[in-house]
Amino acid sequence: MRTVDVRVPATSANLGPGFDALGLALSLYDEIEAALTDEHGVHVTVEGEGAGEVALGEGHLIIKVMRETFGRMGVPQPEGIRLRCRNRIPHARGLGSSSAAVCAGILAARALSGAEFSDDQVFALATEMEGHPDNVAPCLAGGLIVAWSDHTGSPRMVKLAPDERVRPVALIPTARLATETARGLLPKDVPHKDASFNAGRAALLIAALTQRPEQGLLLAATEDRLHQHYRAPAMPASADLIERLRAVGVPAVVSGAGPTVLAFSTSDTQDLIAPEVGNDWHIQLMDVDPVGANVQFPETR
């Protein structure tokens, strides 16, 4: 029985102005143990987030991803799969739980099959399954990621290292919001002046996060006109919290599609966050994960 362990980080996409282009890997992890067995069928156990909610058979997302990956690699489907999930990434909160599952499933299938499947192919398949590269890229590679698609439609990424003085803080509500719902609120077209505004802010955000994490620069760099105010009616508590945090000088944005709020904490702002949050939110202080997904065979640990 071949077994592999895969650890995948949470991610935050968009980061304010970098809609569908910027992503950050966070030090909050899901861990899976996957094995191919001679027994027919699938056996799945889930601990932590999603326990008692997600499918435990062929309908489990990671199992479906593994099956698809085996097919793409041209290897026979295994007789049996045993999967154990230890989940810490909240579901439907804008922290990349589905991207983490997709990446974990692809990497587990590649490791267990031993087939030739490059990192670029992993990235392309993960992007195809998830729909956008801005979550899967930091999940796979870690760090701060700029992601885009080239003229052929293939996903590409550049990895950057944020300044170590920047600490991401996730403010996680109990309420959930499906990505499809949040994306459905976006208009088909936006004003040219708003697109121009976001281009400048996204460029400034890269400079602020990697070189000059000053409170004033980060606050200006996290302004957005492309998506957050359109989605605000679906997450009024998040929109209100962001407004209050920014009013006291804390750079705060919607994490991914929400409703989690991501704040960038520095020495100037770390004491300003908690008083604005209240009891309805879980405050999760994190680091930037520098390496992304990790794959190990148990005997090599």
| Binding site feature residues for ATP | 90-100
Torsions phi, psi for 19 (to 5 deg): -60, 125
What b-and-e string marks burial along 152-191, b requiring 16 or more CB atoms within 10 Å of the CB?
eeebebebeebeeebbbbbbbbeeebebeebeeeeeeebe
Give the DSSP H/E element, type plus range, for residue 104. Answer: helix 97-113
φ/ψ region of 253 (left if φ > 0, alpha if ψ in -120 to 50, else beta) reads beta
Cis peptide upstream of residue 259 (ω within 30 degrees of 0): yes
State residue 165 phi and psi, 5-degree precision: -75, -15
SS3 31: strand
Map residue 97 onto helix, strand or coil: helix
Residues 6+ apart with CB under 8 A from 276: 241, 244, 245, 248, 250
CA distance 218 to 242: 14
Cα distances (Å, whole numbers) of residue 289 to 11, 151, 292: 9, 30, 6
Dihedral sign, Cα of residue 221, residue 224, residue 227, residue 233: positive
Reduced DSSP (H G I as helix, E B as strand, rest coil) percent helix, strand, coil of the chain, to 5: 35, 25, 40
Positions at the binding site:
90-100
